[in-house]
Amino acid sequence: MPALALPFAHLNLRFNPFGEATPSDRARLAVVDIDRFVDRLQRGGAVEFVAAHGRGKSSHLLALHRHFPDAPFIKLESAMRVAPAQVLFIDEVDRVANRAAVFRQVRSIALGTHSSVAAELRAAGLEVESGFVSANADRLRDILERRIEWARRGAGAVPRLSESAIAALRSRFGDDVRAAEAHLYDRFQTLSEVGDVEV
């Protein structure tokens, strides 16, 4: 239990960059290319982000939702029924009990899902843009560096992830961004000074 000081000041940071972020911060921090998805929702139709856990489906949805702030954003915690709306955002759509009915009653819908529901969306008469979310080395580096910048305390150096560190993370965690961030959280807790972060 060390003496108190400003948090992470020794790293020129304000907090551990890889801790939990609020939904609005996650939307701001998302490294996404969503122009075609914004266009699809504006013209009417469906957008689905398909990926396994931890790859960035929710971050994509949150970033897209910033363009439609009035649309309901539903994060399903268990199998449940959803009331349709003109434009609707649903994370974890795999859990929607009445999704065929919902798909038929919306003008535009954006979804996060573990497996594609494009066939069901097309059967409901919606044109579909599918985004298969993954993180290559460049995107992973962008995501992690944006996090570190978010936590920056002031001008000057902050801890840095080298190319070899990014490669090591890719080799260890593949495209599972959440797992890589969890690992870096633990590393940053024990960093004693600014410099290259060993992973």
Partner 1 sequence: MSKSELKISIDKPDRIYRGGETVTGAVEVYVNERCECKALILKCEWRTHGKGNIARGEVTSVNLFSGTWEPGASFAYEFSIQLPAGPATYHGTYLNVDWYLKAQADVPWAIDPKSEADFVLIPISARVPAKRVSEIKKPSGACGMGCMLVMSLIFGGVGVGLLVASLQQSGCATLMMAGFGALFAAAGVWILVSSIRKTIAEKRLGPLHLELSGDRARGGDPLTATVRFTPSADIALSRVMATLQAFERCVSGSGTNTTTHRHTFFTRDVQLCGPRGAAAGAGVELRGEFVLPADAPPSFNASDNELTWSVKFVVSMEGLPDVSRDVTFTVAS
Token readout for 46 is 């469906």
Give me the amino acid identity at 87: V
CB of 127 to partner 1, least distance (A): 28
Among 11, 12, 21, 133, binds partner 1 (CB under 8 A): 21
State yes or no: residue 16 binds partner 1 (CB under 8 A): yes
In this structure, are residues 109 and 115 in contact, taking their beta carbons and an 8 Å threshold?
no
Question: Residues 66-105: x/- map of binding to partner 1 (CB under 8 A)?
Answer: ---------xxxx------------xx--x----------
Q: Which is nearer to partner 1, 1 or 119 (CB)?
A: 1
State yes or no: residue 119 binds partner 1 (CB under 8 A): no
Q: Which is nearer to partner 1, 19 or 125 (CB)?
A: 19
Cβ neighbour number for residue 66 with a 10 Å cutoff: 13
Provide the phi-psi class of 125: left if phi over 0, else alpha when psi is between -120 and 50, else beta.
left
Among 38, 185, 187, 197, binds partner 1 (CB under 8 A): 185
CB of 191 to partner 1, least distance (A): 14
Give the C-alpha separation, 146 to 132, whole Å. Answer: 22
Give the C-alpha separation, 18 to 147, whole Å. Answer: 7
Token readout for 3 is 């003496």
Burial of 122 (0-12, 13-18, 19+ CB in 10 A): middle
Q: Which is nearer to partner 1, 4 or 119 (CB)?
A: 4
Residues lying near partner 1 in the complex (CB under 8 A): 1-2, 4-7, 14-16, 19-22, 53, 58, 75-78, 91-92, 95, 185, 189
